[in-house]
């Protein structure tokens, strides 16, 4: 067998063309891969021969060969169970059994510097051996689940019970052919409402499942084939070397290299203290934990379901039914309206039952319905069931189930359109809250600037340097050392003739490209010639990074390099080098000159400990990041819409003021004298009273730390502002968590306006629907209540009320929730945190329309027969038809809460026009063709014209009522004020 395998290897090795210049781990990996490939191919061929022979000859009992069950893993020395145990148990002993981190990397076929082989076959084999970096989530809810949930509604169950009783007694009394209409009609209407609700909720759930997949797709940097590349977090495999871990650790792994790494493991352990990660004491990294400070490279040892985080996430179902703040407020409103409807329904029930059992009601033939013991039990039960069904239907009509549906529809529609505008909504509540934003706190980089930094100037001493040949050799070497070794970036070049690829932050890439292309820096040679002894990583508080190095040629000399913000570095230096390499002392005049520059590097020969004073300044590097085109216009549009824009940046005051002026955030000559520009430390040192007084005036906060940013957000929220914050997720995490809306750094300033517009559109659409629905609720409740009290009957039957409920809740929500944003939205000030959901303008509109409908329909109820010369059945049909068409015409009025021209832009909303058309067609079918189902009578052309004419009056009425000005003081506050004064009066009398 060994001979056969040897031959197989010799045959396949030329085909695979395995390169000979690979590292030892990669050679071992390719040898293992080749062996397994050969074995599997050999097994396949032998198996095929076996099958072919079996057709003609019996299989021999003792085969002449041995079949090897070769596993596809190709990692004979280690398995995923062991890898998982090493990290989960934080076991140094198990780690040492494999020869430490280097041994694990060797077993996984990973080169610590070059990473894994990035070929498709290699990645696929690793996924087969160790799994993919995905989690098994609970299965998505099916449509049947939402149907069952709809049946759990108490009012629906009562209606179904009433429908069953009505159906049973109807069939018993009138036979199956005629007796099923009443009960069957209620059944059909209820099932139609349930179906629409279940389908809507199901579609919402599916949409959020898709959104979840997109929002979790984070990009990470890995090294494959010695080349740094960016891949999806789902594509990370065991053995990958991940570079500069971002705000979330993508998988379980081991610390390879890095500095000052601190991780927040509270999601795993519940402990809030940050854990320090290093190669000597704690090299274990867990998926799902957050990076609090520093940076690192890690070796991935477990992915997906083999991680602790994966096991935890597999048991957690994503809450796709999360309630937004607006939905919570609407639930309170729904509850209040439902209680009012329940009270009205109870009164109607009591009145109708009393009138029935006292003999004050008559049947269709004019006979008394209840006549004591002479009335059949079946007739009594049938009448009581009809009365209960009518009362319960009033409750169904009163409870505005359409409000949550309207929020769902408008948010889903808005999110879909925002995603088309390349604005990803990761949290549902942000979609609506952004419309109320009053302040945007933004960083300078990415959002306002292009983030394409470039070195534009370089100074040695006070002399600008245009040609690197003018720099002395020793000084040039020091500069190259400082750039190559005090960096988190990298330089990659595939071949000697190819272009350089620079990786890292924009600042790092700018400095590296300048040093390589203009100073002829050889980064790989410098890294080999020097040993890094100690590193202090850059963070937003220190605003500088340092490194101490020792030359391999001279072990007695240690150099220390610092780089960072201008004022930070200059404060540490007492001397500087000029272009010729001579050292000079820095006097006060020269220090003032240096402070006008933006970036600098300095190096001093010193001891291994990184000292922070009496250093020697080598050079100053000026880096420019130009503003984005269109930023000034976007800022001005935000300000016009009533949204203040503030820059909170770690840059110095001069840079921050210049960018703010260029972007239009600051006006010319607006400086620190009028408190528009402050530094983070100054703001922190204010007293609480001073901060609250000055926070609105501040436009720029320079040299700010994450905690300064957090403090600014807290002060703004205390002042009643709705605050949006841009951030990168790591240093800005406290402020992002505190803010009402967190915006990704990829959201450029030009996108703010789109998000603001869509956010306001969501709020505006919800208000439109509330006005529309409350008009229907008020009119229907008053009409049924008055008719029941006075006449002992309700003009609208259970089926008719359910039909009104359907067109009002579902079709009305769909029509009004999909209105697109208009320019007028950005001409209003933002809605504050304490603004009422139902404004005075809405109260004015809905009360006038509701009173008109009540007056007209009650007139038809009591005088309709004489006015039109018709019987009671036709009169009830006229009331039903007029009521429905009043809602259709009022739906147009609801499109504009304040504007008189309600038809403006209607041609753009084809969905609205389509729903209006469908509603009218269905109403005609209900009246003309479903007489027994809807309990209606056919109407002639004159009667149809009368219904349409009465309903159409709501258009001129809506135009007239919008001429009436209203107070800005909330309407309900007057009621509270009257209540307060009444109580005060009573107390005074007592």
Residues with a known catalytic role: 443
Could you tell me whether strands 644-648 and 615-624 are parallel, antiparallel, or unpaired per DSSP bridges?
Answer: unpaired
d(CA 441, CA 665): 11
List the structure tokens of 10. 């010799």
Helices 377-398, 798-806: crossing angle, 10 deg rounding? 20
Q: Please choose, from the candidates 504, 25, 52, the residue with its C-alpha nearest in 3D space to the C-alpha of residue 299.
A: 25
For the stretch 860-865, contacts whose Cβ atoms lie closer than 8 Å and that sit 24 or more positions apart, written own/partner, are 861/783, 861/786, 861/787, 861/791, 861/795, 862/790, 862/791
561 membership: H or E segment, kind and range: strand 558-565
d(CA 180, CA 168): 8
Q: Residue 92, Cβ neighbours under 10 Å: how many?
A: 14
List the structure tokens of 893. 């009025």
**DSSP per residue over 232-262, as a string?**
EGGG--TT-EEES--SB--SEEEEEEEEEEE
Q: Which residues contact 53 (CB under 8 A, 6 or more apart)?
A: 59
* End-to-end Cα spacing for the chain: 109
* 171: DSSP letter: H
Q: Residue 192, Cβ neighbours under 10 Å: how many?
A: 14
- Give me the sign of the Cα torsion angle 321, 327, 329, 334: negative
Q: Please choose, from the candidates 335, 320, 322, 321, the residue with its C-alpha nearest in 3D space to the C-alpha of residue 403.
A: 335
d(CA 42, CA 272): 56
E-state strands within 698-832: 700-702, 723-727, 741-744
d(CA 577, CA 585): 9
- Give me the sign of the Cα torsion angle 664, 667, 673, 674: negative
Q: Which residues contact 152 (CB under 8 A, 6 or more apart)?
A: none
Q: Please choose, from the candidates 539, 530, 593, 527, the residue with its C-alpha nearest in 3D space to the C-alpha of residue 564.
A: 539
d(CA 813, CA 53): 70
Question: What sections of 434-505 are H helices per DSSP?
Answer: 473-485
List the structure tokens of 709. 């940013």
d(CA 174, CA 181): 10
Length of the chain: 990
* 498: DSSP letter: S
d(CA 295, CA 277): 10
Residue 741, φ and ψ in degrees, nearest 5: -135, 130
């Amino acid at each position: 067998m060994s001979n056969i395998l040897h031959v197989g290897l010799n045959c396949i090795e030329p085909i695979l063309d395995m390169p000979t210049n690979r590292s030892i781990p990669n050679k071992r990996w390719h040898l293992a891969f080749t062996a397994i490939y050969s074995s599997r191919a050999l097994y396949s061929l032998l198996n095929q021969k076996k099958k072919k022979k079996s057709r003609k000859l019996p299989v021999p009992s003792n085969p002449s060969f041995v079949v090897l069950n070769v596993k596809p893993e190709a990692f004979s020395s280690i398995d995923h169970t062991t890898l998982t145990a090493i990290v989960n148990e934080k076991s140094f002993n198990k780690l040492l059994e494999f020869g430490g981190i280097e041994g694990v990397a060797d077993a996984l076929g990973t080169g610590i510097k070059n990473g894994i082989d990035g070929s498709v076959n290699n990645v696929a084999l690793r996924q087969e051996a160790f799994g993919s970096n995905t989690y098994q989530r609970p299965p998505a809810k099916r449509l049947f689940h939402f149907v069952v949930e709809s049946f759990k509604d108490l009012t629906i169950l009562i209606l179904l019970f009433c429908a069953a009783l009505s159906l049973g007694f109807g069939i018993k009394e009138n036979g199956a052919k005629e007796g099923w209409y009443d009960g069957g009609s209620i059944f059909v209407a209820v099932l139609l409402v349930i179906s629409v609700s279940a389908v809507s909720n199901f579609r919402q759930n599916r949409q959020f499942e898709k959104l979840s997949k997109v929002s979790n797709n984070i990009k990470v940097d890995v090294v494959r084939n010695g080349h740094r590349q960016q891949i999806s977090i789902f594509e990370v495999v065991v053995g990958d070397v991940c570079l500069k871990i971002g705000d979330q650790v993508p998988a379980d792994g081991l610390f390879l290299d890095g500095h000052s790494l601190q991780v927040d493991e509270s999601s795993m352990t519940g402990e809030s203290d940050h854990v320090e990660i290093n190669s000597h004491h704690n090299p274990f990294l867990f998926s799902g934990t957050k990076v609090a400070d520093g940076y690192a490279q890690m070796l991935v040892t477990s992915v997906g379901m083999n991680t602790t985080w994966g096991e935890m996430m597999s048991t957690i179902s994503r809450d796709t039914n999360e309630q937004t703040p607006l939905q919570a407020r609407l639930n309170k409103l729904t509850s209040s309206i439902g209680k009012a409807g329940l009270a009205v329904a109870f009164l109607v029930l009591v009145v109708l039952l009393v009138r029935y059992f006292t003999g004050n009601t008559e049947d269709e033939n004019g006979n008394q319905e209840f006549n004591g013991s002479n009335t059949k039990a079946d007739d009594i039960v049938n009448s009581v069931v009809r009365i209960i069904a009518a009362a319960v239907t009033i409750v169904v009509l009163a409870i505005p189930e359409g409000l949550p549906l309207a929020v769902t529809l408008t948010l889903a529609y808005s999110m879909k359109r925002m995603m088309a505008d390349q604005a990803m909504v990761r949290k549902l509540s942000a979609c609506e809250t952004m419309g109320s934003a009053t302040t945007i706190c933004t960083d300078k980089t990415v959002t306002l600037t292009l983030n394409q930094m470039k070195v534009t100037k370089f100074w040695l001493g006070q002399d600008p340097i245009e040609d690197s040949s003018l720099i002395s050799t020793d000084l040039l070497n020091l500069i190259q050392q400082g750039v190559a070794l005090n960096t988190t970036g990298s330089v990659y070049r595939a071949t000697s003739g190819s272009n350089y690829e620079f990786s890292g932050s924009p600042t790092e890439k700018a400095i590296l490209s300048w040093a390589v292309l203009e100073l002829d820096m050889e980064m790989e040679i410098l890294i080999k010639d020097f040993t890094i002894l100690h590193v202090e990583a850059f963070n937003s508080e220190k605003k500088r990074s340092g490194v101490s190095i020792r030359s391999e040629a001279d072990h007695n000399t240690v150099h220390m390099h610092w780089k960072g913000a201008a004022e930070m570095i200059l404060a540490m230096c007492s001397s500087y080098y000029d272009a010729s390499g001579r050292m000079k002392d820095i006097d006060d005049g020269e220090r003032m000159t240096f402070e006008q520059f933006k970036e600098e590097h300095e190096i001093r020969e010193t001891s291994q400990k990184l000292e922070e004073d009496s250093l020697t300044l080598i050079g100053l590097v000026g880096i420019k990041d130009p503003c984005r085109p269109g930023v000034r216009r976007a800022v001005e549009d935000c300000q016009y819409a009533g949204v203040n824009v503030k820059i909170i940046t770690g840059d110095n005051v001069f840079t921050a003021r210049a960018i703010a002026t260029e972007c239009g955030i600051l006006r010319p000559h607006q400086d620190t004298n009028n408190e528009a520009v402050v530094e983070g430390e100054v703001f922190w040192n204010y007293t609480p009273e001073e901060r609250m007084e000055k926070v609105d005036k501040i436009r720029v906060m320079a040299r700010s730390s994450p905690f300064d940013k957090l403090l600014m957000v807290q002060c703004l929220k205390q002042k009643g502002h709705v605050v949006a914050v841009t951030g990168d997720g790591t240093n800005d995490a406290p402020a992002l968590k505190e803010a009402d809306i967190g915006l990704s750094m990829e959201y450029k300033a030009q996108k703010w306006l789109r998000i603001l517009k869509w956010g306001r559109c969501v709020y505006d659409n919800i208000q439109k629907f509330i006005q529309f629905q409350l008009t229907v609720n008020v009119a229907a409740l008053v009409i049924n209540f008055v008719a029941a009290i006075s006449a002992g009957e309700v003009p609208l039957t259970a089926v008719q009320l359910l039909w009104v409920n359907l067109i009002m809740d579902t079709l009305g929500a769909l029509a009004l929730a999909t209105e697109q944003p208009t320019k007028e939205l950005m001409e209003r000030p933002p809605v504050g945190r304490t603004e009422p959901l139902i404004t005075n303008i809405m109260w004015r509109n809905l009360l006038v329309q509701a009173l008109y409908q009540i007056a007209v329909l009650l007139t038809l109820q009591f005088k309709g027969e004489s006015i039109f010369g018709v019987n009671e059945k036709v009169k009830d049909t006229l009331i039903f038809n007029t009521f429905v068409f009043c809602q259709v015409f009022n739906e147009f009025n609801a499109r504009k809460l304040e504007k008189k021209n309600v038809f403006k832009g209607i041609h753009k909303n084809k969905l609205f026009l389509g729903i209006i058309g469908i509603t009218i067609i269905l109403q005609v079918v209900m009246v003309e063709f479903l007489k027994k189902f809807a309990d209606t009578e056919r109407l002639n052309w004159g009667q149809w014209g009368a219904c349409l004419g009465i309903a159409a009056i709501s258009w001129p009425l809506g135009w007239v009522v919008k001429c009436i000005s209203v107070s800005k003081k909330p309407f309900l506050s007057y009621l509270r004020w009257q209540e307060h004064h009444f109580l005060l009066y009573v107390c005074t009398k007592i």
